[in-house]
Chain A
Amino acid sequence: MGMKSDIQLIKDGKRLDGRKPNELRDITIKAGVLDNADGSCYLEWGGNKVLAGVYGPKQCLPRHLSNPYKAVLNYRYNMAPFSVDDRKRPGPDRRSVEISKISAEALERVVLLEKFPETMVDVYVEILQAEAGTRCAALTAASVALADAGLPMKDMVTAVAAGKIDGTVVLDLNKAEDNFGQADVPMAVLQHSGEIVLLQMDGDLTQKEFHQAATMAIEASKKVYELQKAALKDKYKERGSK
C-alpha cells in the first residue's frame, strides 16, 4: 500500500487492466479436486491460484487442546515459495500467521462446530500463485472445501476486497493497485444474514469512502457466492449422467 509512482491507476473510469471501478477480476472455482483431503477446492481469481483442502472432523490431537463443547478449527494459510516474485522462504511468517488467525475466526462463526465436540477440523489453503487479494481468494475457496467435505455450516463465506486508488473507491485491487493504491479493505460476509465475519483495513479512507467500499464489496460477494454454489453443484453433475 502507498508505494510511490507516477502511474495513473484509473483514468476516465477505466483501470489499468480495463476494469470499471466496481468490476471483479475473472474467477473460476472447482470443487473436489484432491483425492486425500475430505473436501477440496481449486480457485483462480485474477492472477491468484489457490488450493484449499479440509480434513475432519477427526480426533483432536494433542488432546489437551480439544474442547468438550465443540470442534477446534485450525486454518493454515501458506504461500508456496514460487507463488511470489521474490521467493518466499517456506514456513509460516508473521503475515501468514495473522491471516490464518483471522480466517479461522471467520469460519468459526459459520461452521457448526458444536455438533462435533472434542474433535478438530483442519483447513489448509496453499497459495500457488499470488496476485493481490490472496486472503479473500483463500477464504472463499476454504468455504467451498468445507462444504465439499460435508461439514455443516450456517452459510457459505464469501470474501471480497475493495479499496481506493487515485482517490476513487474500487473493487478487488490487483497487484499494481495494491502496491500503489491508497486503501485496501478485505471483507468476508455471510450471504443470507449479511454478517461480516472478516474485516481488515489499511490505508486512508473517510467514513463515506469506507461505506462505499463496503457496499461495493457486499454487492460483489453475491456474484462470488453464485460461483461457489455452481462449483459445488457442478461437481455433482460431472459424475455420471443426469
Chain B
Amino acid sequence: MREIVIPGERISKAEGNKAGFGAIRRGSSIFATIFGLVDKAKEPIEVVPLNGSYVPHTGDHVIGIVEDARERGCFVDINSAHSGYLAYFREQSFKKGEVIMAEVSSVNEIDKVDLDFAKPLYDGKLIEVEPVKIPRIIGRKASMIGTISKGTGCKIFVGRNGRIFIKGKDDAIYRAEKAIRIIEREAHTSGLTDKIKKFLETGEIDGNEK
C-alpha cells in the first residue's frame, strides 16, 4: 500500500526499520524528507520522489547537450545541478550545442559526473520530461517504450536524466511525444499500458486530456 508523504511527515514508529532514500531516522521514528510515495511495508523505508532533479548513478544512460567544448573533452549539460565532463576518446570531438547520448562512468560525492561512450544524436526532436517519470516511461523490461516505438515507427532514445530523443517521421514524432506526455502526467495510475495502446491505435485519449 503506497501512501503520499510530504517533508517532515512521520512514516514509521518502529525501531527496527532503516531509512532509505528520501527518509531519515530521528530518534525512534522515520520521517520523510521529500514529497513522494512510500510503501511502508518495504525495507529499507524509502520515498519515491514525485518530482525532483535527476540524481545521477553510475551506468545511467543520459542525453546531454554540449555546453562548453574544450581541447581534450567537453562539459555537457545533463539536466542536473552540475554539468558532466566527457573526456574525448581518440579522435572524438563535439561542438557546443550538439546533443549526445552517453553513459555515466562515475559520480563523485557532490554528484558531479564523468561521462563515457558518447555518440551524437541528430535528425530528431529533443524533449524534456520529469526525471522521476522516466522509469514509468521505459516500463518493465522496456515494455512501455517498446510499445510506443513500435506503435509509431520511431526510434526513441531515453535518458535517465529526463531527456528523450525521438527520431522518425514528423507525424510519428508528434504521436510518440504525446504518448510520453500522457505517461508523464499519469505515471501513478493503473491501466496506463492499455491507455497508451489505445491512443496509439486510435489517437483517442480518455479521461482528462489537457
Contact A232 B6 (CB under 8 A): yes
Count of chain B residues with a beta carbon within 8 Å of a chain A beta carbon = 31
- Using CB atoms, name the residue of chain A closest to B131: A150
Q: How far is the CB of A131 from chain B (nearest CB, A)?
A: 27
Check A150–B132 contact: CB distance below 8 A.
yes
Q: How large is the interface on A (under 10, 10 to 19, 20 to 34, 35 or more residues)?
A: 20 to 34
Give the complex CA separation of A116 and B54 in angstroms: 12
Query: Which of A56-64, A134-142, A216-224 lies on the face that meets chain B?
Result: A56-64
B7-15, B99-107, B138-146 - the one binding chain A: B7-15
Q: Helix, strand, loop or mixed for chain B's interface? A: loop
CB neighbours of B157 from chain A (8 A): none
Q: Is the interface of A mostly helix, strand, loop or mixed?
A: loop
A47 to B51, CA, bound (A): 30
Contact A147:B7 (CB < 8 A) given known A116-B81, A240-B185, A241-B189: yes
Tell me the complex Cα distance, A151–B7, Å.
Answer: 9
- Interface residue? A82 (CB, 8 A): no
Interface centre among B6, B82, B185 (most CB of A within 10 A): B6
Query: Is A192 an interface residue when CB atoms closer than 8 A count as contact?
Result: yes
Q: How near does chain A come to B18, taking the closest CB pair, in angstroms?
A: 17
Contact of A232 among B35, B82, B189 (CB under 8 A): B35
- Write out the residue numbers on chain B whose beta carbons fall within 8 Å of the beta carbon of A233: 4, 6
| Residues of B85-114 whose CB lies within 8 A of A | 110-111
Given contacts A112-B33, A116-B111, A233-B6, are A240 and B186 in contact (CB under 8 A)? yes
Determine if B188 is an interface residue (Cβ-Cβ < 8 Å): yes
Which of B10, B35, B110 meets A150, CB within 8 Å?
A: B35
Count of inter-chain pairs, beta carbons less than 8 A: 92
A24 to chain B, nearest CB (A): 20
Which residues, 1 to 49 on B, are CB-close (under 8 Å) to A?
4, 6-10, 22, 31, 33-36, 49
B193 interfacial by beta-carbon distance below 8 Å: no
| Complex-state Cα separation, A192 to B8, whole angstroms | 7
Determine the chain A residues whose CB is within 8 A of the CB of B9 once the complex forms.
229
**Quick check: B185 and A239 within 8 Å, CB to CB?**
yes
* Chain A residues with CB under 8 A of B36: 150
Contact A38 B7, CB 8 Å, known A57-B81, A58-B81: no
A117 CA / B7 CA spacing, docked (Å): 20
B52 at the interface (CB under 8 A from A): yes
List CB contacts (< 8 Å) of B37-87 with chain A.
49-53, 81-83
Q: Chain A CB within 10 Å — which of B52, B185, B189 has the most?
A: B52
Q: Contact: B82 with A119, CB < 8 Å?
A: yes
A-chain residues with CB within 8 Å of residue B52 when the two chains form the complex? 149-151
Chosen A-B contacts, 7 in total, with CB atoms closer than 8 Å, are A148-B35, A150-B36, A152-B34, A155-B8, A236-B50, A239-B186, A240-B185
Q: Which residues of B contact A (CB under 8 A)?
A: 4, 6-10, 22, 31, 33-36, 49-53, 81-83, 110-111, 132, 185-186, 188-191, 207-208
